[in-house]
Amino acid sequence: MQTNLIKKIDLLKKKRGAIILVHNYQPPEIQDIADYVGDSLELAKISHRIDCEIIVFCGVHFMAETAKIFNPDKMILIPDEHAGCPMADMITAEQLLEEKESHPGAVVVTYINSTADVKALSDICCTSANGVKVANSVKNEEIIFAPDKYLGSYVANRVKNKKFYLWSGYCPTHMVFSKEGILKLKDEYPDAEILVHPECRLEVQKIADAICSTSQMITYAGKSEAEKFIICTEVGMLYRLKKENPTMKFIAGSLNAVCPSMKLISLEKVLWTLEDLKYEINVEESVRQAALKAIERMVAT
Ligand code: 13P
Ligand code: SF4
């Protein structure tokens, strides 16, 4: 059944001139049919340099939207229109405008996990991999950081002489990790290193051996002397880590760290997307251009 579906996807993908981009958190069977697997920014950059007419984006809405911001002339499709990111939806453009009015001297640094409307009102974007570098590149002394308060705190704690106004968004999936839970695992696997995504709470960040974005986890494991790692991010990441490092052991910091939106994508839906050319992502041109400026500023830092 699965083999049939994969064959059909492959045939139709070629016929349509489509490419399948897949985020690190996607289910294994979706990662296995990918042309490219990566983090949100890597995928957006790949989308930009790749020659194709259609991109099927297996991830959440803001990621597909970021690909559209880079590629106005390509058709960007997401296999499930309900695959949103709750954190990205925790700040609206209207709310960000009000926050800017309250702090007129502040520069707005916005996490890539945000809607195109919010990016368009931002001065510069950042990812979980480059937040500190981006904040240090800002000349102003005041920074509005949105929407993730935990990534914001992580950055604020490492940047000197700047005042941060943190928006109070968070990722529900990363809230399941607790200090007690991770320390219990560390008792079971004393020689394991603890890798923590900066979307986790500060009590979890504090006991980390390394705080990493999803792609940095892959690089870190590849270079480390350790052979076991406790992974504090969405469980889909474990499949990618194991595939790339088959001799190492990766232990989930919590098996409950499942992003429901990421798991909405299935092989059937990928096939239907290619058959029906649904659901297409569009971004209004003035919003796209303003959002692109904030992303390009980040890329230039
Ligand atoms: P990346 O930017 O590492 O792809 O992570 C995105 C995300 O949604 C983290 O929860
Ligand atoms: Fe959004 Fe969290 Fe899912 Fe990442 S894991 S897409 S931040 S809800």
Q: Where are the domains of the chain?
A: 2-83+262-282, 88-170, 174-258
Question: Measured between alpha carbons, how far is 110 from 115 in angstroms, rounded to an integer?
Answer: 10
The pTM of the whole model exceeds 0.85? yes
Ligand 1, CB cutoff 6 Å, lining residues: 39-40, 113, 127-128, 171, 199, 213-214
Q: Tell me what pLDDT residue 48 has.
A: 85
Residues in the chain: 301
Which of these CATH numbers, 3.90.45.10, 3.40.1390.10, 3.40.50.10800, 3.40.50.1820, describes 2-83+262-282? 3.40.50.10800
**Which ranges in 157-201 belong to alpha helices (H)?**
179-188
Ligand nearest to the CA of 176: 2
Q: What is the pLDDT of residues 218-275, one digit of tens each?
A: 999 999 999 999 999 999 999 999 999 999 999 999 999 999 999 999 999 999 999 9
Mutate to test the pocket of ligand 1, among 24, 26, 39, 60 (most ligand atoms within 8 A of CB): 39
Residue 230: Cβ within 10 Å count: 26
Ligand 1: which atom is nearest the Cα of residue 23?
A: 4
Q: Which fold has domain 88-170?
A: Rossmann fold (3.40.50)
Burial tier of 251 (Cβ tally within 10 Å: 0-12, 13-18, 19+): middle
CB 241 within 8 A of CB 217: yes
- The domain over range 174-258 is classified in CATH as 3.40.50.10800: yes
How wide is the angle at C-alpha 61 spanned by C-alphas 56 and 62, nearest 5°? 115
Task: Assess whether pLDDT exceeds 80 at residue 1.
Answer: no
Whether 88-170 and 2-83+262-282 are alike in CATH topology: the answer is: yes
Query: Atom 8 of ligand 1 has which residue's CA nearest to it?
Result: 113
In terms of Cα–Cα distance, which of 51, 83, 88, 55 is closest to 69?
55
Q: What is the pLDDT of residues 8-56, one digit of tens each?
A: 999 999 999 999 999 999 999 999 999 999 988 899 889 989 999 999 9
Task: Assess whether pLDDT exceeds 90 at residue 212.
Answer: yes
Q: What is the pLDDT of residues 86-117, one digit of tens each?
A: 999 999 999 999 999 999 999 999 999 999 99
User: Does an H or E element contain 76, and which?
Assistant: strand 75-77
Q: Tell me what pLDDT residue 197 has.
A: 98
The percentage of residues in the chain with a pLDDT greater than 70, rounded to a whole number, is 100
The mean pLDDT value of the chain amounts to 97
CB 151 within 8 A of CB 130: no
Q: Tell me what pLDDT residue 138 has.
A: 95
Amino acid at 58: C
CA 170 to centroid of ligand 2, rounded, Å: 9
Q: Tell me what pLDDT residue 297 has.
A: 96
Q: What is the pLDDT of residues 28-40, one digit of tens each?
A: 999 999 999 998 8
